Homo-oligomer: A and B are copies of this chain.
Amino acid sequence: MTTIDPRTRVRRLADRAVGDRSVLDAVLADGAVGTLSTVVDGLPWAVPMLYARIGDAILLHGSTGAGALRRVAAGAPACLSVTHLDGIVVADNLFNSSANYRSAVVRGRLTSLEGVDAETALVALSDALIPDRSTEVRASSGKELAATLTLALPIEPGQWTVKARSGPPSAGDRAPGVWAGVVPLRTVAGAPERASWVPDDVPVPASVRALQQG
């Protein structure tokens, strides 16, 4: 195994830890997919998952094989990482080029959904992805609810970290004639693509139209 030359140093970006719980909630609310990490046989293990927050719990919905997710469910410590890439920071040199971002990491132990019934959880997860879609479709059946495993990661004081970078590049050389600045990035929804079995006179629902407005 190679070790790192101690003469090298980590280059820190201008990131900033943010301590306000409302900022954590805002970072979580702006996304629907995070990376859940845990330890399996002493090694790091990670998987992308859909999530939603209800109060002091982050609900997680599996997008992986049952075996691996059960290891997490059995109570292993876990952390969820959520990152939004907000912009590309273009400096007048490579060293100061960077990214504007917001990120949250929440640490804890996964539990079952104490105090949250399966239907509430499924609605919250749906609303995180497609706000208000739950008002447009039938209620979930008992069979569907029984087949849904949603886990919760508690949000506890001292067990989460929010970091962010925003604004222009570090001044660098201010080299004459060299452009520097920020290219903002955002996620946009394209035109809805109707499933083949849906007649073309079925209107696009309000929840889907709202996604187009961002």
Contact = CB atoms under 8 A, between A and B. Distances in A.
Nearest to A143: B95
Contact of A37 (B44, B85, B140, B195): B44
A148 B46 contact: no
A158 interface: no
B2 A75 contact: yes
A174 to B, nearest CB: 5
Nearest to A174: B197
A39 B122 CA distance: 31
Contact of A185 (B5, B66, B148, B190): B190
Given A47-B105, A83-B48, A8 B174 contact: no
Contacts of A2: 75, 111-112, 114
A165 B178 CA distance: 42
A21 interface: no
Interface residues of A, number: 117
A1 B109 contact: yes
A194 B3 CA distance: 40
A28 interface: no
B168 A180 contact: no
Interface in A115-174: 122-123, 126, 129-130, 133-134, 136-138, 140-141, 144, 146-149, 151, 163, 165, 168-169, 171, 173-174
Interface of A: 1-5, 7-13, 15, 32-33, 35, 37-39, 42-48, 50, 61-66, 69-70, 73-75, 77-79, 81, 83, 85, 88, 90-95, 97, 99, 101, 103, 105, 107, 109, 111-112, 114, 122-123, 126, 129-130, 133-134, 136-138, 140-141, 144, 146-149, 151, 163, 165, 168-169, 171, 173-175, 177-198, 202-205, 207-208, 211-212
Given A11-B148, A47-B103, A187-B187, 7 more contacts: A3-B73, A3-B75, A12-B65, A44-B44, A44-B78, A138-B175, A182-B192
